Structure 1
């Protein structure tokens, strides 16, 4: 005698017919995965997130001696500068700033330095050179003297 189908015994587990019950297992796995990601992202945000770089704190202002810079056509510019340093910067050498000012202003026409808009553009150009020379220790440059002849 041959048996083709035997009823399951009490200790054996039966498989659900296809299409029934398999979706619940996948859904649970997806929900668990999403929850793990959310908890992980929240933990990173609150505990491991690097602090945003804060703006540098202004420190002392260093006033440099005035210099005379030769302009075009025999004119000159008497230029005085002050440097706003960061809180961490101390005892900087002003020679780099004076050299940068000479580089920016030398040989310009008197009309180029006489107008306010041009002076601000020149200040920005000088600030770029100071940022390179002092590696971010100078926050701002101020004109303390600006006389042309």
Structure 2
């Protein structure tokens, strides 16, 4: 039987064509990935302009909260007000009520190990509670005391 062989020129052209195709596909994938990153993750300047401006800080008296699994937590918070809050300081009793409601359901181990997660959830609740007419009065909280026993 006679073997069919390709001339050497055709074989190298086929390999060269596959390499070119592979390079083009790789370049296209990189371009698509960069475009997706640009559109999905590179927020516009409007988002930064919409962020509220920092105002005064209202320090609230520390309180002791009985924890669900026994023990207690002495916690103090300060409210970071927005510039829209004006000169009048908000009443901190609502924030303290939210602190008591949030932390009285926590176990002592949660208070120690999940401190950042608990603070984040507390901050969201307080910021949401201090919205008036669609304006944020409080934009964040700071923990000024955090002692558990």
TM-score norm. by structure 1 comes to 0.61
Q: Report matched runs for 1:65-76 at 5 Å.
A: 65-76=61-72
Counterpart Cα distance in 2 of 1:110 and 1:70 = 10
SS at match of 1:74: coil
Partner SS, residue 56 of structure 1 = coil
- Bigger-Rg structure (1/2): 1
Q: Which residue of 2 aligns with 1:142?
A: 142
**Any unmatched runs of 5+ in structure 1?**
1-51
* Structure 2 spans left out of the alignment, 5+ residues: 1-45
Q: Is the 8 A contact 2:79 2:140 kept in 1?
A: yes
Partner of 2:55: 59
SS of residue matched to 1:91? coil
Distance 2:127 2:145 in 1: 21
Instruction: Give the superposition deviation at 1:137.
Output: 1.3
Distance in 2 (alpha carbons) for counterparts of 1:124 and 1:96: 17
Question: Matches of 2:128 and 2:108 in 1, distance apart?
Answer: 27
- Displacement, 1:71? 0.5
Change (3 A) 1:88 1:76: same
The total of aligned residue pairs comes to 97
Tell me the residue number matched to 1:129.
125
Where in structure 1 do 4 or more consecutive aligned residues deviate above 2 Å? none
From 95, 98, 101, the equivalent of 2:96 is: 98
Offset of 1:101 from its aligned partner? 0.6
- Give, in angstroms, the shift of residue 131 of structure 1: 1.9
SS in 1 for 2:95: helix
Aligned match of 1:108 in 101, 106, 109? 106
Deviations 1:15-66 (A, max 9, x none): xxxxxxxxxxxxxxxxxxxxxxxxxxxxxxxxxxxxx453211000000000
- Equivalence for 2:83: 87
Q: What is the RMSD of the two structures over their aligned residues, measured on CA atoms? A: 1.6
